[in-house]
């Protein structure tokens, strides 16, 4: 299935520090509010931005991973938390759990927790998708050389070992017995990839040496790139999102309490707050310029 073309690459063109700020703002909003309207707004903003930037496929994979985890959390919350007062199901005595009463408050809060986990993971996936890792490493080299070296090595090793594991798995399937199955075969594979990891890391480290990383000379002073239109657009959106975060927290907007009874404040202010989150996030890709051809 082909991926729809992006309509704007502003977030991908912006410098990594600015794109990262934008992604962190969305993650922070999802972390700060449990109100379903705000979570829905952050989700809409995240998927909208991903759609406009053409990176929705990366989010889909993350969400597919997040949903089972989130649903598990929702079920566990409903079964274990006994703070609600509206009992909707009595299971009686269960081994290990003792008396289990499911309350509507715990059920609702569990599902909101699940929604929050999905939104946080989706926003984090957006952050990874829009930030250029090479640019991050380049900037890290200026301030934290050793950390950047480790990060460069580790980042590349993920790709190298993933490709090693894929090839070795194919080789395993080429064996006359199909390479066996079960835990022992898996352990052999993992052991083999891991034992090769040291050699591969040494090879990548040798390449870093050969490209002159260890003897790096600082770039000339004043050699900084001026802020582009894309940088300014994304920065404005990111700062706008952070402003909404601060105002929302300070003003106690989108108040939500699950226990002992559900308290959900949903008025014009909350609707406006949620709408502003979506509009501020989408402003960068919508107004920051069309995709380069």
Tokens 């835990």 correspond to 183
Tell me how far, at minimum, the Cβ of 61 lies from another protein, in Å.
12
Helix (H, G, I), strand (E, B) or coil at 119: helix
User: Closer to another protein at the Cβ: 35 or 172?
Assistant: 172
What is the per-residue binding string for another protein in 212-241, x denoting contact by CB under 8 A? Answer: xxxxxxxxx--x-x----------------
Q: What is the DSSP letter of 9?
A: -
Q: Which of 3, 147, 263, 269: binder of another protein (CB under 8 A)?
A: 3
Which residue lies nearer to another protein by CB, 70 or 148?
A: 148
Q: Which CB, 139 or 255, lies closer to another protein?
A: 139
If binding is defined by CB under 8 A, does position 138 make contact with another protein? yes
Positive or negative torsion for Cα 20, 22, 28, 34: negative
Nearest C-alpha neighbor of 55 from the set 129, 133, 132 = 129
Which residue has 């006994």 as its token pair? 82
Closest distance of CB 139 from another protein, Å: 11
CB atoms within 10 A of CB 272: 11
Helix (H, G, I), strand (E, B) or coil at 177: coil
Name which of 213 and 259 has its Cβ closer to another protein: 213
Binding string to another protein for residues 158 to 197, with x set by CB under 8 A, is what?
-xx-xxx--xx-xxxxxxxx----------xx-xx---x-
209 part of the interface to another protein, by CB under 8 A: yes
Report the residue from 152, 238, 245, 282 that binds another protein according to the rule CB under 8 A.
152
191 vs 260, which CB is nearer to another protein? Answer: 191
How many Cβ atoms are within 10 Å of 187's Cβ, its own excluded? Answer: 10
Integer Cα distance of 261 and 106 in angstroms = 10
Nearest to another protein of 98, 182 (CB atom): 182
Residues between 8 and 37 with contacts to another protein, criterion CB under 8 A = none
Phi/psi at 256 (5° precision) = -145, 130
Q: What are phi and psi of 88, to 5 degrees?
A: -115, -10
What the block records as the tokens of 152 is 């460069």
Write down the residue that tokens 């052991």 correspond to. Answer: 191
Q: Which residues, at least 6 apart from 151, have a Cβ–Cβ distance to it below 8 Å?
A: 136, 137, 140
* Residue 210 touching another protein (CB under 8 A): yes
Distance CA 108, CA 200 (A): 49
Tell the smallest beta-carbon distance from residue 9 to another protein (Å).
10
Stretch that binds another protein, among 108-116, 207-215, 230-238, 262-270 (CB under 8 A): 207-215
**Contact set with another protein (CB under 8 A):** 1-3, 132-135, 137-138, 152-153, 155-156, 159-160, 162-164, 167-168, 170-177, 188-189, 191-192, 196, 199-200, 202-220, 223, 225
């Amino acid at each position: 299935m082909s991926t729809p073309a992006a309509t704007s690459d502003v977030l991908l063109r912006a410098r990594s520090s600015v794109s990262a700020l934008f992604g962190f703002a969305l993650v922070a909003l999802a972390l700060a509010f449990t109100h379903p309207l705000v979570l829905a707004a952050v989700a809409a903003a995240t998927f909208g931005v991903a759609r406009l930037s053409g990176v929705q496929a990366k989010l889909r994979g993350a969400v597919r991973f997040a949903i089972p985890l989130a649903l598990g959390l929702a079920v566990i919350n409903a079964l274990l938390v006994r703070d609600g007062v509206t009992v909707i199901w009595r299971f009686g005595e269960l081994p290990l759990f003792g008396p289990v009463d499911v309350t509507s408050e715990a059920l609702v809060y569990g599902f909101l927790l699940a929604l929050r986990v999905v939104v946080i993971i989706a926003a984090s996936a957006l952050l990874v998708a829009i930030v250029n890792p090479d640019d991050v490493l380049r900037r890290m080299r200026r301030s934290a050389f050793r950390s950047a070296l480790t990060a460069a090595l580790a980042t590349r090793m993920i790709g190298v070992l993933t490709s090693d594991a894929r090839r070795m798995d194919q080789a395993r399937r080429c064996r006359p017995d199909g390479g066996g199955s079960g835990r022992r075969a898996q352990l052999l594979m993992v052991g083999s990839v891991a034992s090769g990891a040291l050699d591969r890391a040494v090879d990548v480290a040798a390449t870093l040496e050969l490209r002159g990383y260890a003897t790096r000379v600082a770039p000339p002073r004043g050699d900084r790139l001026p802020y582009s239109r894309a940088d300014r657009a994304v920065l404005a959106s990111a700062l706008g999102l952070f402003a909404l975060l601060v105002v929302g927290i300070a003003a106690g907007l989108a108040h939500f309490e699950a226990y002992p009874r559900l308290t959900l404040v949903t008025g014009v202010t909350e609707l406006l707050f949620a709408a502003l989150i979506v509009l501020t996030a989408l402003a960068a890709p919508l107004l920051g310029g069309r995709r380069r051809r």
